[in-house]
Structure 1
Amino acid sequence: MSQGTSQGTSQGTSTEIRRKQLRWRCWHRGTREMDLLVGGFADRHIESLDSAQLERLESLLRAPDPDLYGWIIGRDVPPPEYDTDIMKMMRDFKFTPQSG
């Protein structure tokens, strides 16, 4: 019984670490515009993404910034392998600057 609990905790910790790593990658894209778009998206949605969605987000993050930016703003149509629920969520996301 404790083995199942330990495994569940390990899985939870692994997912938490994965989310933290993905959030960091989203906020460190290379351009301020992409940091704000993708990082803001991660701040808003990453905690609610399941494992399969996290995998699709990881896949999107491997795409070059100019391509990803074009897909997000709707200038370009993403290839089918990138045209997922996560891409739709990114397109629908509206970045709102936080007043400091």
Structure 2
Amino acid sequence: MSELNKLRWRCRRGTLELDLLLLRYLERAYLSATSEQQQAFLRILDLEDTELMPYLMADRLPVDATLAQLVIAIRSLPATLQTGEQAATINGAAN
């Protein structure tokens, strides 16, 4: 299994909202992110859903500045996907 597919699997959470937000970041920004941002994303994926939900649903920010910047970046990604991105996300989620 490729590293990207492993990350895609780790983005699957207990709620559809978290799934969509995390997958959106993975598909649109992760590969072009700095190594520090990528490490922060891995740390975000290690959080429990109960801790992650308030961060991504705009209730609060993590104390850690790097994680807080990542949370803001994840929240700010537009919700709509282009046709090619929809197919890539659907195909990637099926793998």
Structure 1 match to 2:93: none
Q: How many Å separate the matches in 1 of 2:80 and 2:62? A: 24
Q: How many Å separate the matches in 2 of 1:39 and 1:82? A: 19
Matched, 1:38 2:19: no
- Pairs aligned (count): 83
Change (3 A) 1:47 1:77: closer
One-letter code aligned to 1:25:
R
Deviation per residue, 1:55-100 (Å, 9 max, x gap): 1100011111122121112112322266343222112123226677
Structure 1: give runs of 5+ residues left out of the alignment. 1-16
One-letter code aligned to 1:83:
L
Structure 1 match to 2:51: 67
TM-score between both structures, scaled by the size of structure 1: 0.64
Choose between structure 1 and 2 for higher RCO, CA contacts under 8 A separated by at least 6 residues. 2
TM-score between both structures, scaled by the size of structure 2: 0.67
Say which one has the larger Rg. 1
Matched-pair identity in %: 28
